[in-house]
Amino acid sequence: MKKLFALICLFSACVFAEGSAWETAPHFSTSESATLESSASEAPAVESSTLAAPVAEETLPTAKQTAPRIANPKEHRGFYSNFGTGFSYVNFHTEQVDGNDYEEASFKGFTFPLMDFRFGVGVANLLVFYTEFNIAVYSGEANDIEIYCDSYGNCDVDKGSDDNSIMARSYIGFGTSIYPFRDTSSALNGFFLGGSIGYGLDAVYGADLESVDSEVNVDWGFTVEIGKDWWVNDHLSIGLSAAYFHASPKVYVTGSDNGIDGFHILFRLTRG
């Protein structure tokens, strides 16, 4: 009985202690519990946004963008190339004497276009050294006079003429141009003087010119030129030039007016 009584007392004490603890613990209403739960759920979100803000503000360094530098803008330095095309006039005249025989041939004509190509190098924005090649086919009038005389002084004169003749001519030479006005703000910037020397090939067809017809002649000569270029960007320019040329055919000739004379008026496109 004593043991049973002791167990009952111990059980009663435990129940009393648990009830006291429940009464002293804070109690919340249903609305207060919901408020606490919502506050608890919002707290991590605030902390997350607070931590994420510095990350969003961080930016990667931006590389400095600079335009590529153009070497030697609006200057004649380095590689040089030029293409010209335009009108050309030629006057070809030659005389040949062989004993008692005399032959004279001439041709006058125009062409469009003559094509001229130059490649070289510019130095110190002042000089340009280049190789020149041009080619043209002229149309015009050809005349031929042939006089044959025997030992007794009896002569036979043969004249020929054809106003539908053509003359083909090509020229290759080495030349230079000087650009004395280097200030790009000057109105004379782009003005130049130049010239070249070289060899040419020419032939006249379409007329009964036994002295030159169907025969290719080699000539040597020169060209002098004056002109003006205008820059359209840092390396490209357009221009206009006028040139005079003279050549002497490699044939036996007499008289001071023998040879080839003519002029060009060219529209130019230049790089460098």
Provide the number of structural domains found in the chain: 1
* Residue carrying structure tokens 């025989």: 101
- Position 67 in a domain: no
How many CB atoms within 10 Å of residue 250?
A: 11
Task: Determine, yes or no, domain membership for 56.
Answer: no
Question: What CATH number has the domain bearing residue 251?
Answer: 2.40.160.20
Whether residue 203 is contained in a domain is answered as yes
Taking a C-beta distance cutoff of 8 angstroms, is the pair 162, 139 a contact?
Answer: no
Query: Residue 122 domain-assigned?
Result: yes
pTM higher than the cut 0.75:
no
210-241 confidence digits (pLDDT tens): 555 556 788 999 999 999 999 999 999 999 99
Per-residue pLDDT at 67 exceeds 80: no
The string of pLDDT tens digits covering residues 68-127 is 555 678 999 999 999 999 999 999 988 877 777 888 888 999 999 999 999 999 999 999
Residue 103: domain span: 78-271
Within-domain flag for 99 = yes
Question: Would you say residue 119 lies in a domain?
Answer: yes
> Does residue 47 lie within any of the structural domains?
no
pLDDT mean over 199-210: 77
Distances (CA, A) of 93 to 1, 46, 87, 144, 256: 162, 103, 20, 10, 11
- Residue 70 placed within a domain: no
**Whole-number average pLDDT of the chain:** 79
